[in-house]
Amino acid sequence: MNIQIAPSILSADFACLGQEARRMELAGADLLHIDVMDGHFVPNITIGAPVVYCLRKVTKLPFDVHLMISEPDRYVDAFVDAGANMVTVHAECPSADEALKQLRHRGVKCALSVKPGTPVDAVYPYLDKLDMVLVMTVEPGFGGQSFMTDMLPKIRTLRQWADQFGLPLDIQVDGGVDVNTAPLAIAAGANILVAGTAVFYSDDPKATIRKLRSGRA
């Protein structure tokens, strides 16, 4: 399987986001993962669409926008206008369905995410309408947490469903992904790995990205 690496800009130096995005592009990243938090869905506040708009001018990397916000339907258009190529909304949000409809209408890739406490069954009714499912392997809100191995069965279930129904579903894993945990996620069936701390704090991000992609510890 083709494995893609999406460095999470949450671990970047926010005083020079443009350079940080370029640094990841040069290091061989496949996507740039942008964590949007509203201080309500999660206990942290990060960045909004204006920042995405400015970043769009400095890198060609596709933008993978992870909306950890309570009312994604209110902001989908703003993020697509700002340059998002794919947008993930959380299954726990009452307006997730509406946000997915808007994303499909706008013609960008759409994804649904489950927090650790949410069963993977929550995405089942949407499977054939999704480009990607994001399995959170930490409680969303902060970088630098430890990978929850008890989330691996969710990834296996999703890969089984995708195979069973012949769906070209991407399975993304986010939280605590490093060179030790990446092989577990890949073996379970994930094909897009988000990594914040592991890549941004690496002495050699290029080598780390290559290693993460290899699936070998």
For the chain, the helix, strand and coil percentages under 3-state DSSP, each to the nearest 5: 40, 20, 35
Q: How many residues does the chain have?
A: 217
Quick one: which segment of 18-26, 97-105, 142-150, 164-172 binds ligand DX5 (CB under 6 A)?
A: 142-150
- One of 5, 29, 31, 35 touching Zn ion (CB under 5 A): 35
Task: Kindly state whether residue 135 participates in binding ligand DX5, applying the rule CB under 6 A.
Answer: no
Position 22: which residue type? R
Catalytic annotation present for 13: no
Q: Which of 106, 36, 107, 45 is nearest to 72 (CA)?
A: 36
- Nearest residue (CB) to Zn ion, 43 versus 203: 43
- The alpha carbons of the chain give a radius of gyration, in whole angstroms, of 16
191 binds, options Zn ion, ligand DX5, none, Cβ within 5 to 8 A by partner type: none
Report the nearest approach of ligand DX5 to the CB of residue 105 (Å): 25
- Nearest residue (CB) to ligand DX5, 92 versus 161: 92
- One of 130, 194, 209, 212 touching ligand DX5 (CB under 6 A): 194
- One of 72, 83, 140, 205 touching ligand DX5 (CB under 6 A): 140
CA–CA separation, 8 and 196 (whole Å):
4
Q: Locate 111 and state its tokens.
A: 């994804």
Q: Tell whether 66 is in a known binding site.
A: yes
Task: Kindly state whether residue 159 participates in binding ligand DX5, applying the rule CB under 6 A.
Answer: no
Contacts with ligand DX5: how many residues (CB under 6 A)? 21
CA–CA separation, 75 and 67 (whole Å):
9
Q: Which residue has the tokens 């989330």?
A: 151
Q: Locate 99 and state its tokens.
A: 């946000």
Quick one: which segment of 21-29, 72-80, 97-105, 135-143 binds ligand DX5 (CB under 6 A)?
A: 135-143
Alpha helix positions (H), 151-214:
152-165, 182-188, 197-200, 205-214
139, 168 Cβ separation under 8 angstroms: no
The closest residue (CB) to Zn ion is 66
Annotated binding-site residue numbers for a divalent metal cation: 33, 35, 66, 174
Q: Under the rule (CB under 6 A), what is the footprint of ligand DX5?
A: 8, 10-11, 33, 35, 66, 138, 140-141, 143-145, 174-177, 194-198
